[in-house]
Chains A and B, each alone.
Chain A
Amino acid sequence: MLGYTITQWLFGILSFLAIMFALMVVFSRSPVNSVLYLVLTFFCIAGHYLLMNAQFLAVVHIAVYAGAIMVLFLFVIMLMNLNQDNEPQKTALSKAIAALIGGMLLFVMVGALKGTENLNLQPQSNATEIGLVKNLGRVLFSEYLFPFEIVSVLLLAALVGAIMLGKKEVKS
């Protein structure tokens, strides 16, 4: 099809959708809509992971982000009863300045990446099976066993901290 392979078409479509949904996250006025667009962005990024044959990360990404974090966001937004009417807005001037700074940052970054398309980086081997659960699990539980255990402590600390912060203060 027009000289592009099916993978390249998928890459293009997923990239376009991811950028569009990310823009909608920033520019939609209602916070609930922002959360829903962010979920769609995360699905597009999971599609990118699948294209790169990182199946474990794609599944974990959907489970953690779309399944857990976004539900947490939605619950908090609904608890606070935020909607379009009481949404605080910055002035047009500071929005324009933010867009200008972002545009300049984009210009610098794209300029810095300009020479890289001639870089002939090839994969070390064609067998890209490192993203499968089998290989990743072996690395995770041999080389990275200690950080893995530390992460469980971190999650426990976050759990206790969230409960401590969230509970009502007892009047003494």
Chain B
Amino acid sequence: MINGIHINYYMMLSTILFIIGAIGVMSRRNTIILFMCVELMLNAVNLLLVAFSTLHNDSSGQVFVFFIMAVAAAEVAVGLAILSMIYRNIKSIDTHLLGNLKN
């Protein structure tokens, strides 16, 4: 129990958020929205890490979340740079057009 809330509810919430992100990755074609859904999945995992770190009264989980945030920031910066370069070359960020990278 974290402040009167059972850890089970946190597990359910982050599972649902993760699966919404996964459905978004599978059902959209816009690469930027794919990126956003990946962020959503990362955040679902972060939420569960913080919940268990609070439950076990151990700071390591929260430090881990801090590092995940730093890695996510780096990933988004490089990913969006790649996307804008692709957009400059083929004038689209549709995933179906990115299938053949050599052309």
Contacts and interface: CB of A to CB of B under 8 A. Distances in A.
Contacts of B30: 31, 82, 87-88
Contacts of B67: 144, 147, 151
Given A23-B20, A31-B33, A57-B65, A155 B73 contact: yes
A165 to B, nearest CB: 4
A65 B39 contact: yes
B77 interface: yes
Interface of B: 1-9, 11-13, 15-17, 19-24, 26-30, 32-33, 35-37, 39-40, 43, 46-47, 50-51, 53-60, 62-63, 65-67, 69-78, 80-85, 87, 92-96
Contacts, number: 230
Interface string A77-102: 10110100001111000110111011
B2 A52 contact: yes
A78 B35 CA distance: 16
A54 B62 contact: yes
A72 B80 contact: yes
Nearest to B58: A130
Contact of B63 (A31, A65, A116, A140): A140
Given A72-B76, A72-B80, A102-B23, 8 more contacts: A19-B17, A57-B66, A69-B39, A105-B19, A106-B15, A140-B63, A159-B77, A162-B81
